A and B are shown apart, each in its own frame.
Chain A
Amino acid sequence: MSCMKRFCHETRSHDRLHHTLSRRLRFLRLLLLKMAEERDPPALSGSAQTEGDEDLFVSAMESPEAARLPAEDTSPSSNGPKAEPMLLDDDPDDLFAEATEEVSLDSPERQPILSDGPSPAITPVTPVMISPRVDMFDRSPDQDEDEEENRDTFDIQISVSDPEKVGDGMNAYMVYKVSTKTSLSIFSRDEVSVKRRFSDFLGLHSKLASKYMHIGYIVPPAPEKSIVGMTKVKVGKEDLSSVEFVEKRRSALERYLLRTVKHPALLKDPDVLQFLESSELPRAVSTQALSGAGILRMVNKAADAVNKMTIKMNESDAWFEEKQQQFENLDVQLRKLHASVESLVCHRKELSVNTASFAKSAAMLGNSEDHTALSRALSQLAEVEEKIDQLHQDQAFADFYLFSELLGDYVRLITAVKGVFDQRMKTWAKWQDAQMMLQRKREAEAKLQYANKPDKLQQAKDEIKEEIEEWEGKVQQGERDFEQISKNIRREVGRFEKDRVKDFKVVIIKYLESLVHTQQQLIKYWEAFLPEAKAIA
């Protein structure tokens, strides 16, 4: 937001910066705490989370075809930590680890990057498994959903806090403390804190996307990267805009995690659990654009785009067509709303600057005034205006974090939803391809009846029979996969829509609370000023 940058470059001292920011945080957190007290959890801060599709991110393994659909793998192989290769080469890569290009809302690069290799996807019918905690997982995703509905309390709280800069210069990075408090038994402890850096979050998202997107789960997108923001932080610029950048990122990371664990299947995912609990996490590298993996990704992306254009799906289910259209519309609407709010936040900041300026001029007028009572009143006026300036800043802060970020999160989330619909199309295409292959094999078999070379005939016939069996199996699997993903998507969309309503409701209430608070402060200030004005002459 250029507005933010422009109006944030004020000449304030470093201390006052942090004081200002922490005061604003306190203000917003007070509201949030009040909210939390008055209703049951989820006391979700910052409301909705998003699907930020980080296309330039691949976890550890270098292997081809980032968008492979390994649906054949029905065995729940462990996708836990031990499969991660240790690509821990640090410094040369760090330069780009978190500092790739600014990804705007309109960035065309909004396809999910799917993890390769060691986290093979699990087929939908088999629940997510991990050896030590089998008992929790013998249930279908449908059951999970019902249970979530019945649960009164969603008993997990996650906070991301204490950003710390590690290292110097261009190799520096920020580390955040991730604290989890929960009574759920899938966690080994009630409370745990770990340190994570931004690329760790991206790594988590990549793994989850590769595991679940192709079966139709809407995986919340990770927060966006930002070269400009991070470079400033690395370089050590301690001005208001870098402080705000770090806070913005911290908040986004927190919302991301909360949204992720809200998903009943993702909550139990071993990668998620490891992320939240393990003190050591293997470095997620290959997140940069210019690696071999990066080039490969771009090639695959292009291939995907071509595929999308050429897949003409015969939609037998009107629901999907309608829903896709709805999401297209929603996307457009949300983007418009987001733009409106950005303009609002910008003007609010401008108002704050102008109010401060007016306060100064009133103070100077008061100082030059001979008449004592008038002079005092003018000085009081200046003070009132300064306080109002603070109110404006707080309100701008609230506007931003309540609305702008919420809308931004949802725009990114919708992209993930669209991605899931695309996956369904791919699944359908795969099924159709299998059917076509089967057809061909059958035709080949029929042809063999009229072939000439009898000695080779039997061998060929056997081969063909085998292949036909193979492809019949694939066709059946393809159909099953398609049905499953369709079912999953329906459920996911239902959950998404419910969550959306909930998130917006929460935001409205928080916003109203901030408005009431501001007005009550104003009343106090004006009531204090009135006697001063009346006391003149």
Chain B
Amino acid sequence: MMEGSSAEEALSVSASSIRITDVTQDGDVLTFAIASQKLDSSAGVCVFRIYEDFDWLQQSLFSQENLPGLQGIIFPPLPSKALTSQSNTQTKALKQLGFLALGQDWQSYCKAMEFYLQQVAAHPTLCKCTALDSFLINYESPGKQRGRKGIFNRLSQAVEEMRKESHKDVDNFFQNERNKNTNLAALSKVATEKLLDVVMTEQKLALACGHFSTSLHLCVNQDDAAAVAFSKVCLKLSDVIEAVKQNFEKVASNSLSTLGLGLDLESRYQEAEKEMLFRRTCKLIELETVKKSTEKAKGNKREAMEAFQKAVEKEFNLISSVAKQEIERFHSSRVNVLKNFLIGWCELQLNTAKEFAEFYSQHLEACRNMYSE
């Protein structure tokens, strides 16, 4: 049970109503329009935020005080800042953001930011953070209050950290969870990248079809009867290829908006869990180190050390119990999330396949009728 959470500090808007309704780009800066529904009235709220505001929110969540066991929380992952300046090529953007860099007008990116807000708002503990409420409803952006860095930094790949990461656990439950998480985090990252490759190739194919279709159009000429007949055929083929192009575009965007987003989210969430587990492991190492020092201490020092050890132990246990709850919550919610994305993806692809099967069939019938001599 979480201590120190004030029941009166609740979010004043409905978590599921949070939407990013629009995004505008001015030079290098993206501005998001965030709408939500107030809980106590039918009024809607709309605010404008930039990336730095999101970052401020995340840092505020990290640095909440009087929340013991905070380190056991799996924090909803915030997408990286989008590289918006012209000098950044698509390859750089892809490397940084993966799926979120694709799609028209930052659609996927907005969706991911929206998920982030919804997940923070739906979290039983995090939703009570005042920073969230002010983020969502204050007209003024919280930007003025920037500067507070959270206690958590992103997991770096320092050798020392890696050593810590593989530190053996005292609890089987957690050891298993850590092993599984390491595995799943890696696999889901790979799956996301592979799906991204597929989508990119589909887009390339759409482009190639476009070129082919245009080239066919250029074959049209009216010089004589034979040329006219040939031109008609070329135009027909051009139409067909144009349809193939649209087909690819549709299939790619279907994947992008469903499974792509889903795998991306899953992959980043696994990383978020990894960070939480790492924090706990670090705490464990700290505890074990303190225990060793305490044993060696003598006299007055020993008493002080024992008191200190007790505090650390208490902290560790709190973190562990919070972590356990978080893990269970995470497990059930991620299955649901993936399920919804998979269903959405399948339904979209099925519809697209039906749509184009119909289209191609019509074309085929028309051609057969036209060409039967």
Contact = CB atoms under 8 A, between A and B. Distances in A.
A344 B229 CA distance: 26
B203 to A, nearest CB: 10
B166 interface: no
A494 B226 contact: yes
A522 B230 contact: no
- Describe A's contact surface by its main secondary structure: helix
B290 interface: no
A497 B343 contact: no
Contacts of B354: 519, 523
A361 B221 contact: no
A368 B180 contact: yes
Interface string A507-537: 1110111011001101100110110011011
B197 A322 contact: no
B234 A504 contact: yes
A508 B236 contact: yes
Nearest to B187: A365
A500 B233 CA distance: 10
A394 interface: no
B321 interface: no
Nearest to A319: B224
A347 B208 contact: yes
A59 interface: no
Contact of B230 (A344, A354, A497, A530): A497
Nearest to B189: A361
A513 B364 contact: yes
A520 B244 CA distance: 15
A396 B180 CA distance: 39
B195 to A, nearest CB: 5
Interface stretch (A83-91, A204-212, A335-343, A442-450): A335-343
Contacts of B191: 358, 361-362, 364-365
B212 A344 contact: yes
Interface string A353-397: 011011011101100111101100100010000000000000000
A447 to B, nearest CB: 51
Given A509-B368, A523-B354, A533 B233 contact: no
B237 A536 contact: no
B227 interface: yes
Contact of A508 (B209, B212, B367): B367
A337 B183 contact: no
B211 A343 contact: yes
A526 B258 CA distance: 15
B226 A497 contact: yes
A110 to B, nearest CB: 22
A512 to B, nearest CB: 4
Nearest to A529: B346
B194 A354 contact: yes
A452 interface: no
A511 B356 CA distance: 14
Interface stretch (B62-70, B130-138, B271-279, B334-342): B334-342
A529 B344 CA distance: 12
A529 B339 CA distance: 12
Given A361-B191, A377-B342, A504-B233, A368 B347 contact: no
A340 B198 contact: no
Given A368-B180, A536-B335, A351 B198 contact: yes
B373 to A, nearest CB: 9
B264 interface: no
Interface in A164-200: none
Contact of B364 (A340, A341, A509): A509
B188 interface: yes
Interface in B173-205: 180, 183-184, 187-188, 190-191, 194-195, 197-198, 201-202, 204-205
Contact of A371 (B194, B202, B335, B363): B335
B346 A374 contact: no
B349 interface: yes
B343 A530 contact: yes
Nearest to B220: A333
Contacts of B216: 337
Contacts of A361: 187, 190-191, 194
Contacts of A534: 339, 343
Given A344-B212, A350-B201, A516-B364, A523 B350 contact: yes
A306 interface: no
B357 A523 contact: yes
A326 interface: yes
A381 B342 contact: yes
Nearest to B226: A497
B202 to A, nearest CB: 7
B353 interface: yes
Nearest to A395: B244
Contacts of A82: none
Among B183, B237, B331, B332, find the residue whose CB has the most chain A CB atoms closer than 10 A. B237
B328 to A, nearest CB: 12
Contacts of B80: none
A361 B189 CA distance: 10
A500 B229 CA distance: 10
B211 A340 contact: yes
B205 A344 contact: yes
Nearest to A337: B215
B156 interface: no
A316 interface: no
A533 B229 contact: no
A512 B353 contact: no
A337 B336 contact: no
A512 B364 contact: yes
B361 interface: yes
B223 interface: yes
Given A340-B215, A347-B208, A504-B234, A522 B349 contact: yes
Nearest to A367: B187
Contacts of B226: 494, 497-498, 501
B357 A374 contact: no
B357 A516 contact: yes
A505 interface: yes
Contact of A357 (B197, B205, B345): B197
Contact of B187 (A329, A364, A370): A364
B244 to A, nearest CB: 7
A456 interface: no
B174 to A, nearest CB: 15
B145 interface: no
A195 B335 CA distance: 62
Interface in B210-254: 211-212, 215-216, 218-219, 221, 223, 226-227, 229-230, 233-234, 236-237, 240, 244
Contacts of B194: 354, 357-358, 360-361
A50 B363 CA distance: 28
B350 A526 contact: yes
25 contacts: A329-B221, A330-B219, A336-B215, A336-B218, A351-B198, A358-B191, A358-B195, A361-B187, A361-B191, A365-B191, A374-B339, A497-B230, A501-B229, A501-B230, A505-B367, A509-B368, A512-B364, A522-B353, A523-B353, A523-B354, A526-B353, A529-B346, A530-B347, A534-B343, A537-B335
Given A364-B190, A365-B184, A368-B180, 9 more contacts: A340-B212, A343-B212, A350-B201, A351-B201, A354-B194, A358-B198, A361-B194, A373-B335, A523-B350
Interface of B: 180, 183-184, 187-188, 190-191, 194-195, 197-198, 201-202, 204-205, 208-209, 211-212, 215-216, 218-219, 221, 223, 226-227, 229-230, 233-234, 236-237, 240, 244, 331-332, 335-336, 338-339, 342-343, 345-347, 349-350, 353-354, 356-357, 360-361, 363-364, 367-368, 371-372
